[in-house]
Amino acid sequence: MRYASITDRLSGLGSGKWALHIQARAMAAAGIPVIELTIGEPDLPPDRALLDEAARAMYAGRIKYSNGRGEPAVLEALVAKYRKRRADVTEANILCFPGTQTALFAVMLGLAEAGDEVLVGDPLYATYEGVVASTGAAIRTVPLRPEHRFHMQAADLEAAITPKSRVLLLNNPHNPSGAVLTREEVIAIGEVCRKHDLWILCDEVYEELTFGAEFHSPFDMPEFADRTIAVASISKSHAAPGFRSGWAAGPAEFCERLLPVSETMLFGVQPFIADMTAMAVSQPFDTARQMRERYSRRAELAAETLGGSNVIKPLMPEGGMFILLDVGATGLDGEAFARRLLREKHVAVMPGGSFGENAKEFVRLSLTVPDETLVEAVGHIADLGQELTGLAAKRA
Ligand SMILES: Cc1ncc(COP(=O)(O)O)c(C=O)c1O
């Protein structure tokens, strides 16, 4: 049988990246105790009131068809949220989707196609390759450099632009590095996009998980508002990834044009989940604060456990749920180090190379495990670092 080319473009995407995670799961299934620091799922439950609201709404009959843009209550809540960031936001600027991932997919489908290029910082979140490839467009990477703590530099962006460039896919706060762009950086990036007439698609799923650094977005800046679409969800902010509830916020004309795409894909999102999302977005909950406190504390704990080692060096995150460790001084790259760590110490981490060229010397640890588990795992990482450098010293 003959298949459409999208199945080729997406085939195998990601499977190599997750090889180590899959191997760790297989070891665990075989009874080997593995500390798993590969994926990042919030390690606390959503607020009970949100679960109650979803159940209440479901039993109250909020299980019928919805509409393509979103339920009135959630639209109202999202308008209020984004009005705090930019005063002119209305319902015409919002589209609801089942999660950031679907929003990324649909928005990109509305912005890029075969023959176009989409600029993405490298390292990049694992699904971006598929998001871009599904449209037929090509990825063009912008190097994010460890010496800039993986903050995108406007000059690096400008150097990567070609006549085919259409969109910058900007992830801020950034996964895997935890970088949070400064206002000056966002403005400089926005100016480059304006000069070259690029769309800016901002993945802001970690907006509420910053550890003190102030969050800035081109969406909030009137000079970039006509070219910026922000996407986010309640997956991280409210520890509710399984509810699959997110949205896109962008120019009214863009939303109007994308609405039929959304309707064709989804025929609306679930009303009872919309009700729960409206509550999540419009009322204060403590979940994000607890996560910020936990993940920043654990990043500090990991650094303390490494004790200023010049073999394994932490890159302190400014937000998110991960920490990158530079393992280059061990003589192994992140991939080889992670494989050896799993084999010899039964600790599973993500090789930085799974996220791109520029993180190859790093491994990424999820901060979503209890403090003592993280300290134990980082202790094993430090030990392996010592063993490897001791070996190297002996050889020399
Ligand atoms: C950068 C980034 N974007 C998007 C997502 C997916 O978010 P959602 O659950 O809202 O689809 C994740 C999940 O880990 C992520 O790290």
Cβ of residue 199 lying under 6 Å from some atom of ligand 1 = no
pLDDT in tens, 332-391: 999 999 999 999 999 999 999 999 999 999 999 999 999 999 999 999 999 999 999 986
Alpha-carbon gap, residue 97 to 104, rounded angstroms: 9
pLDDT, position 18? 87
* Token couple for 57: 């709404």
Atom of ligand 1 nearest to the CA of 241: 9
Q: For ligand 1, pick from 235, 245, 321 the residue to mutate: most ligand atoms within 8 Å of CB.
A: 235
Cβ of residue 205 lying under 6 Å from some atom of ligand 1 = yes
Cβ of residue 172 lying under 6 Å from some atom of ligand 1 = no
For atom 14 of ligand 1, which residue has the closest CA? 40
For atom 7 of ligand 1, which residue has the closest CA? 100
pLDDT in tens, 107-118: 999 999 999 999
pLDDT, position 176? 97
Cβ of residue 235 lying under 6 Å from some atom of ligand 1 = yes
pLDDT, position 157? 98
Cβ of residue 100 lying under 6 Å from some atom of ligand 1 = yes
114 alpha carbon – ligand 1 mean position (Å)? 25
124 alpha carbon – ligand 1 mean position (Å)? 12
27-52 in b/e form (b: 16+ CB < 10 A) is beeeeeebbbbbebebbeebbeebee
Which domains does the chain carry?
Answer: 5-43+287-395 (3.90.1150.10), 48-282 (3.40.640.10)
Cβ of residue 42 lying under 6 Å from some atom of ligand 1 = no
Is residue 20 a contact partner of residue 339, using CB atoms and an 8 Å limit? yes
Nearest to 363 by CA among 393, 396, 323, 305: 323
pLDDT, position 252? 98
Cβ of residue 101 lying under 6 Å from some atom of ligand 1 = yes
pLDDT, position 304? 97
> pLDDT tens track of the chain, all 396 residues?
999 999 999 998 867 788 999 999 999 999 999 999 999 889 999 999 999 999 999 999 999 999 999 999 999 999 999 999 999 999 999 999 999 999 999 999 999 999 999 999 999 999 999 999 999 999 999 999 999 999 999 999 999 999 999 999 999 999 999 999 999 999 999 999 999 999 999 999 999 999 999 999 999 999 999 999 999 999 999 999 999 999 999 999 999 999 999 999 999 999 999 999 999 999 999 999 999 999 999 999 999 999 988 899 999 999 999 999 999 999 999 999 999 999 999 999 999 999 999 999 999 999 999 999 999 999 999 999 999 998 656 655
Cβ of residue 270 lying under 6 Å from some atom of ligand 1 = no
Cβ of residue 245 lying under 6 Å from some atom of ligand 1 = no
Cβ of residue 237 lying under 6 Å from some atom of ligand 1 = no
Cβ of residue 233 lying under 6 Å from some atom of ligand 1 = yes
Q: 0.95 cut: is pTM over it?
A: yes
For the chain, strand residue ranges (E) read 35-36, 94-97, 117-122, 138-143, 165-171, 199-203, 228-233, 246-249, 313-315, 322-326, 347-348, 350-351, 362-366
Q: For ligand 1, pick from 17, 18, 101, 350 the residue to mutate: most ligand atoms within 8 Å of CB.
A: 101
Cβ of residue 125 lying under 6 Å from some atom of ligand 1 = yes
pLDDT, position 262? 95
Alpha-carbon gap, residue 81 to 86, rounded angstroms: 9
Atom of ligand 1 nearest to the CA of 175: 1
